[in-house]
């Protein structure tokens, strides 16, 4: 079953005199983007946490925030490793000289190197406390995943309804198409009689013209391909691990087929039905942007 890219999860508890709050939220994104915000005392967990996020989610902008409030967590000074900071500064100066760069080396540039800051000794956290934080982190990801799955069910129901609507419209178009040829033959015959002032018509020539028109306006192949695309679409919606990008590509093919139908058949009723299909495809495309 498809999953949405939007969701939210939150966990809060007290451990060792500290209030731990973990919030995880996600929104749409073409790829997987992970943003992790946590106190410096938890930096040792950062790479492992990002790996766990990437193992669970394929697409979306995932933002996780971890906050610690309570004992030994209020406005404490950080230790600064001046030796590492000087090394970074020296390397940056060499890069500037090597590549003749004009941009200044600012405090912001140096501050981006996190390893020059270390938490004070009194904020070092025990392995048991870190394990508890990790447990809460994983539970918040589970909540986030569950909400994305619930949102995916809503997406599925809406998209399935629109696919059924398109099927019905295609059936209307398929029933109308033969009538278009009959009406063309009638109009052509009346027009020829009007222009020839009642002279006898060449029936074989008339039949030939109608046959040419029928061949040019034949939309059987397009209708068959549209139904094939719809069947594949329905399979995508029910399959596990389907990516929204695949549905995007399928919608492009469906849009191409319905455009061909509209260009082949010069009929007001069929044109109206084509517009309805294109409207539904547009709504499906909007919904597809939310699929993981």
Examine the domain organization and report whether 173 and 281 are in the same domain.
yes
Sorted by sequence, the CB contacts under 8 Å of residue 229 that are 6+ apart come out as 250, 253, 254, 257
Element housing 283 (H / E): helix 268-288
Whether 35 maps to a domain, the answer reads no
Residues in the chain: 292
Q: Return d(Cα 161, Cα 148) in angstroms, integer.
A: 20
Whether 37 maps to a domain, the answer reads no
Whether 48 maps to a domain, the answer reads no
Examine the domain organization and report whether 280 and 205 are in the same domain.
yes
Structure confidence at residue 186 (pLDDT) = 67
Examine the domain organization and report whether 174 and 249 are in the same domain.
yes
Whether 264 maps to a domain, the answer reads yes
Last residue of a domain, one of 63, 98, 118: 118
Structure confidence at residue 255 (pLDDT) = 95
Examine the domain organization and report whether 226 and 182 are in the same domain.
yes
| Number of domain units in the chain | 2
Structure confidence at residue 122 (pLDDT) = 47
Joined together, the tokens standing for residue 257 give: 């087929």
Examine the domain organization and report whether 221 and 170 are in the same domain.
yes
Structure confidence at residue 77 (pLDDT) = 59
Last residue of a domain, one of 118, 133, 167: 118
Q: Return d(Cα 117, Cα 86) in angstroms, integer.
A: 13
- Tell me which residues of the chain have a pLDDT lower than 50: 71-75, 122
Examine the domain organization and report whether 200 and 273 are in the same domain.
yes
CB 292 within 8 A of CB 59: yes
Structure confidence at residue 157 (pLDDT) = 95
- Taking only the tens place, the pLDDT of each residue in 122-166 is 456 788 899 999 999 999 999 999 999 999 999 999 999 999 999
Structure confidence at residue 164 (pLDDT) = 96
Structure confidence at residue 74 (pLDDT) = 45
- Which range marks the domain in which residue 190 is found? 154-288
Computed on alpha carbons and rounded to an integer, the radius of gyration of the chain in Å comes to 32
Examine the domain organization and report whether 98 and 176 are in the same domain.
no
Examine the domain organization and report whether 164 and 212 are in the same domain.
yes
Whether 22 maps to a domain, the answer reads no
Last residue of a domain, one of 118, 136, 169: 118
Place of tokens 């025990």: 126
Q: Return d(Cα 216, Cα 194) in angstroms, integer.
A: 25
Q: Return d(Cα 28, Cα 6) in angstroms, integer.
A: 6
Structure confidence at residue 226 (pLDDT) = 95
Sorted by sequence, the CB contacts under 8 Å of residue 114 that are 6+ apart come out as 40, 43
CB 274 within 8 A of CB 262: yes
CB 195 within 8 A of CB 163: no
Examine the domain organization and report whether 96 and 160 are in the same domain.
no
Whether 32 maps to a domain, the answer reads no
Examine the domain organization and report whether 190 and 275 are in the same domain.
yes
Examine the domain organization and report whether 162 and 92 are in the same domain.
no
Examine the domain organization and report whether 105 and 210 are in the same domain.
no
Whether 8 maps to a domain, the answer reads no
Whether 49 maps to a domain, the answer reads no
């Amino acid at each position: 079953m498809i999953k949405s890219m939007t969701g939210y999860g939150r966990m809060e508890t007290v451990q060792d005199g500290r209030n731990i709050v973990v919030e995880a939220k996600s929104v749409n994104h073409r790829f997987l983007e992970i943003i992790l915000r946590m106190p410096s005392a938890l930096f040792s967990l950062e790479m492992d946490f990002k790996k766990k996020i990437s193992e669970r989610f394929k697409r979306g902008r995932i933002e996780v925030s971890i906050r610690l409030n309570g004992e030994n967590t209020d406005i404490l000074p950080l230790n600064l490793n001046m030796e590492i900071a000087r090394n970074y500064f020296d390397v940056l100066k060499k890069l500037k000289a090597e590549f003749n760069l004009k941009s200044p080396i600012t405090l912001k540039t140096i501050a981006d190197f996190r390893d020059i800051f270390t938490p004070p000794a009194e904020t070092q956290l025990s392995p048991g406390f870190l394990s508890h934080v990790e447990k809460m982190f994983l539970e918040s990801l589970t909540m986030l995943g569950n909400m994305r799955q619930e949102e995916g069910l809503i997406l599925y129901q809406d998209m399935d309804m629109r696919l059924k609507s398109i099927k019905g419209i295609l059936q209307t178009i398929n029933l109308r198409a033969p009538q278009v040829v009959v009406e063309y033959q009638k109009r052509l015959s009346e027009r020829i009689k009007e222009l020839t002032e009642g002279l006898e018509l060449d029936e074989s020539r008339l039949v030939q013209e109608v046959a040419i028109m029928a061949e040019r306006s034949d939309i059987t192949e397009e209708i068959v391909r549209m139904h094939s695309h719809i069947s594949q679409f329905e399979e995508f919606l029910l399959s596990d691990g389907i990516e929204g990008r695949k549905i995007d590509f399928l919608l492009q093919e469906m849009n191409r087929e319905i455009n061909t139908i509209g260009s082949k058949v010069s009929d007001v009723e069929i044109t109206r039905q084509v517009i309805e299909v294109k409207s539904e495809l547009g709504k499906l495309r909007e919904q597809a942007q939310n699929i993981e």
